[in-house]
A and B are shown apart, each in its own frame.
Chain A
Amino acid sequence: MSEGAPVQQEDETEAEEEATGDKPVETGAESVVRALENAGAEYVFGVQGGAIMPVYDALYDSDMNHVTMAHEQGASHAADAYGIVSGEPGVCFATSGPGATNLITGIADANMDSDPMIALTGQVPTNFVGNDAFQETDTVGISQPVTKHSYFADDSDTVGFDVSEAFALAEEGRQGPTLVDLPKDVTQGETDVQPGEPKAPDTYHPPEEADDANVQEAADALAAADRPVILAGGGVIKANASNALRDFAIDYEVPVMTTMPGIGSFPEDHELSLEWAGMHGTGYANMAITNTDCLLAIGTRFDDRLTGGVDSFAPDAEVIHVDIDPAEISKNIHADYPLIGDAKAVLRQLYDAMPAAPDCDEWREQCQTWKAEYPMEYETPDDEPLKPQYVVEKFSEVTPDDTIVTTGVGQHQMWASQFWTYREPRTWVSSHGLGTMGYGVPSAIGAKLAAPDQEVVCFDGDGSFLMTVQGLSVAVRENLDITYVVLNNEAVGMVRQWQDGFYEGRRMASEYPWIPEFDKLAEAFGAQGFRLEDYDDVEETIEAAREYDGPSVIDAIIDPAENVYPMVPSGGDNGLFALNEDHLDQL
């Protein structure tokens, strides 16, 4: 896709599906399924079990596709990734007790990253609730702190409405996960009440446009700034505001950096792009965010991995904060100009309110100087083990611009975000706020099903891959064309890096004395396996894996000593990012 071409999924297509068939529902379970159909859900990721069986039985007659996962954690991550890529809530099912608790990691992950998702869990029959019945857990109690809202369905007549409401709530306003707990007697019970279209709760009123007077003040401040910069968060992508962002930044010539979840909202190969800021962000983004005098931050919650120490975060900047969630305003960083509203709507308002473009040629030059001074570089000595950055970069070069990248959590995740050039929204799918190892394998499954025509590459770590490797069985069964690349350093490398940096090299529980051969493991699952050790084989192996029709796994044996830089130590000053170990020692 060339620059300026329409961004995918940008404008909501009116694809509201007609309710499947007019056959009236007769049970609570049927009304649950009908509510999902009415909402337009196409896929369900889940695992069967006693308390959820009535719902599965109703699914038997539905046109929705069920993907049987190998573990409920995988079901919630797959649904989460489906939600990120499609923009609509991903759906996951689990039974009561262990099924529900296994979902929790993925729900918490979606909550931290504001990903739209709905989880439906079986529950013991209502008259057993509270008696410690077989496979009973307080699922609403456990999940409430990590959802937008959790519902306990207590009536066959209204359970369909609970599901409709939970679906709408997950999608509207600041997106996030919701859960509906479904006691077996409620789903088995008879009803003749037909569920309607998704409708958010009557107490829920997400804002749309920001107050015009506030917008004008913010626009005036930005236009008068000497060193303005835009910080685009994940909210820009969630609001389908990437085009609005591009229009604004390019027409007013304001440099742009993103947060990690905001990757893809602005093309990284554009002259105005500084890529992303934060702990492992680029040196140039961190210099710019430290020295700006006016920060236009959109759809970001100022996470500590972004800000570093608050005392030294953009300390000279007036902050214009655009967010749909009023509670994010001045939560971590004080907003001088709070603009509460939908990112796309507010960006358009700001565009119209700008009296002039900021006069900041010098600042833009300064940003270019920083780009020249702190390039993202690494060395590739032929006689040493493969550098992971090289593998990522080569992949990025040969794949189409709309290729979707998913990851596990650790060093490999950072290399995948640093050395791939992202140009489109919804092509970067990762676990940010929760930092969940194991996110890689199932997220690639959800992403592929949401975008079957796009290539999907998952960069995983050896440690992360082992946490959810069983998901390969699903990718094989569903014949999903996914390329998994394990950047194998035979270690939980990110922990090893911190031990070397901050714990005097005492490598407690961070190196694997023995790990499986992932290419052979892949073959055992029925996927195609490759082993990659030499620079000479990189391009050929990438091609072979991409060409294989179905899931393939490249076990890339990389330099175990490689570390992630730049680095701002936890709570540190972004402007003092370290480029190597010597710098770290100086801090």
Chain B
Amino acid sequence: MPGPAPDERMRPAGRRNSQGIRIDPEAEATHQPRQAVLSALVKHEPGVLSEVSSLFSRRQFNIESLTVGPTVDHDVARMTIVIEEPDPGVQQAKKQLEKLVPTISVEELEPEATRRELALIKVNGEKPDDVQAVADMYGGQAVDVTTDTVTVELTGSQQKIDAAVEAFQQFDVQEVCRTGTAALERGADTLETDD
């Protein structure tokens, strides 16, 4: 007695979305991507940066920026990684990052965390006073002035830098160098440092 053919078998009514979450097929609920800032303390040793960047690229996590720098402890570096992912992706990225052997701790920072980016913007120097005026508007300052160019230094949130770069377009932006976001939690919260 062979069992029913495929189209005659009993079948459940439910469905899952592409993230493996059970859904009501009527009201399909997929998570939308959002921006998340992951802050990680890692061992300050050769190869760590390549290990982290290779992890993000092979698992196709969308990186917006990644910064690394030393901390007060010479053996520990801090990485700040801004990603754009739906919620399950943010959780995955955090857990995969935690799995790397040189990783000490990882947190996703609160949305209100202090976030700053530094930018150097080199523009045409024909109208230095006008350039200075725009720089003032964004709290920036000229750090290099020649007859041909003015280079302005700015810090602020990513949105503020975006807006400033836009504003400087009128002076014919010649080069921009942005550091990517550095961020710390507000208040007394810090990342775990004990291994």
Interface on A for B, CB 8 Å cutoff? 140-141, 144-145, 148-149, 152, 169, 201-204, 283, 287, 290-291, 302, 310-313, 315-317, 325-327, 329-334, 370, 372-374, 575-579, 583, 586-587
* Contact present for B16 and A374 (CB under 8 Å): no
Interface residue from B2, B5, B43, B92 paired with A331 (Cβ < 8 Å): B92
**Apart from the given pairs A330-B91, A575-B12, 14 other A-B contacts in the complex at a CB distance below 8 Å:** A201-B101, A203-B195, A291-B12, A310-B16, A315-B14, A326-B98, A327-B92, A327-B96, A327-B98, A333-B20, A334-B21, A373-B2, A374-B2, A586-B5
Q: Give the Cβ gap from A470 to chain B, nearest Cβ, in Å.
A: 32
Q: Which residues of A contact B188 (CB under 8 A)?
A: none
Q: Which residues of B contact A333 (CB under 8 A)?
A: 16, 20
With A and B bound together, what is the CA distance between A372 and B91 in angstroms?
43
* Contact present for A313 and B20 (CB under 8 Å): yes
Whether A169 touches B101, Cβ cut-off 8 Å, given contacts A315-B14, A372-B1, is: yes
Tell me whether B177 is interfacial, beta carbon within 8 Å. Answer: no
Tell me whether B166 is interfacial, beta carbon within 8 Å. Answer: no
* Contact present for B195 and A287 (CB under 8 Å): no
With A and B bound together, what is the CA distance between A405 and B5 in angstroms?
33
Q: Which residues of A contact B7 (CB under 8 A)?
A: 576, 586
Interface on B for A, CB 8 Å cutoff? 1-7, 9-22, 43, 46-47, 50-51, 54-55, 58, 88, 91-92, 95-96, 98-104, 195
Interface residue from A316, A370, A373 paired with B12 (Cβ < 8 Å): A316
* Contact present for A302 and B9 (CB under 8 Å): no
* Contact present for B95 and A316 (CB under 8 Å): no
Q: Which residues of B contact A316 (CB under 8 A)?
A: 12-14, 22
With A and B bound together, what is the CA distance between A578 and B1 in angstroms?
16
Q: Which residues of B contact A313 (CB under 8 A)?
A: 16, 20
With A and B bound together, what is the CA distance between A325 and B96 in angstroms?
10
Q: Give the Cβ gap from B79 to chain A, nearest Cβ, in Å.
A: 14
* Contact present for B6 and A583 (CB under 8 Å): yes
* Contact present for B6 and A577 (CB under 8 Å): yes
Q: Give the Cβ gap from B76 to chain A, nearest Cβ, in Å.
A: 11
With A and B bound together, what is the CA distance between A332 and B89 in angstroms?
11
* Contact present for A141 and B92 (CB under 8 Å): no
9 A-B contact pairs sorted by A residue (CB < 8 Å): A148-B101, A202-B195, A283-B3, A311-B16, A311-B17, A316-B13, A330-B91, A334-B19, A374-B3
Whether A311 touches B9, Cβ cut-off 8 Å, given contacts A203-B43, A327-B99, A331-B92, is: no
Q: Give the Cβ gap from A319 to chain B, nearest Cβ, in Å.
A: 9
* Contact present for B101 and A203 (CB under 8 Å): yes
Whether A290 touches B6, Cβ cut-off 8 Å, given contacts A145-B54, A310-B18, A327-B95, is: no
